Amino acid sequence: MNRIRFQRLPVRNAFSLVEVVIALGVTSFALLSMVALIPMGLMQAREASDTTTESQIVQFARNKIEMMPFASISTLTNGYFDNQGLPTTPGAPEQIYTVSYGVTNVSMSTAGNSTANSMFVNTAANTTATIATNAVVVQVSIVNRTVPGTAATNVFPIVVPNSGF
């Protein structure tokens, strides 16, 4: 009689319940760590966006200052901007940034004394300056109304020389 021989198929081992639980624990720990970084990344993205917008506003202010006569720089008025750095009207719902200007006279001494080429700051108004005004420093103060506290205000100085026009 011929006997039929059955071959045994190879046994496939599966993961045990303990291995699955450990793998889930390691995976959840890694995912929770990454999820915790999301708020920090969003905050950094917002700060970068604010910095970019503020630099656009300062460039806008610098262009405005360069286009006006030197004698009328002290008459600069507040400006209002949206979240893209574009001018807007005061009180508009899209108004995010308020810009104010502070003007300080700066005079240069080129006399041949020991203080040659030093810079003197004269805080008198342009019309009553006792030293010839060669330049002004315009402090552009930008207030971001979406950020609480004093961190919302940034000041950028712009030195404007008296070009004679």
pLDDT in tens for each of the 165 residues of the chain? 667 777 777 777 788 899 999 999 999 999 999 999 999 999 999 999 999 999 999 999 999 998 998 888 889 999 999 999 999 998 888 999 999 999 988 765 555 454 444 454 444 444 444 445 678 899 999 999 888 777 688 999 998 888 765
Query: In the prediction, which pLDDT does 127 show?
Result: 46
pLDDT tens, 20-67? 999 999 999 999 999 999 999 999 999 999 999 999 999 999 999 989
Pairing of strands 153-161, 135-144: antiparallel
Query: In the prediction, which pLDDT does 164 show?
Result: 65
Query: In the prediction, which pLDDT does 39 show?
Result: 93
Buried b (16+ CB within 10 A) or exposed e, 68-106: eebeebbebeebbbeeebeebeeeeeebbbbbebebebb
140 vs 61: CA distance, rounded Å: 8
As a whole number, the mean pLDDT across the chain is 82
61 vs 100: CA distance, rounded Å: 10
25: tokens are 């624990």
Express as a percent the part of the chain with pLDDT over 90. 47
Query: In the prediction, which pLDDT does 131 show?
Result: 46
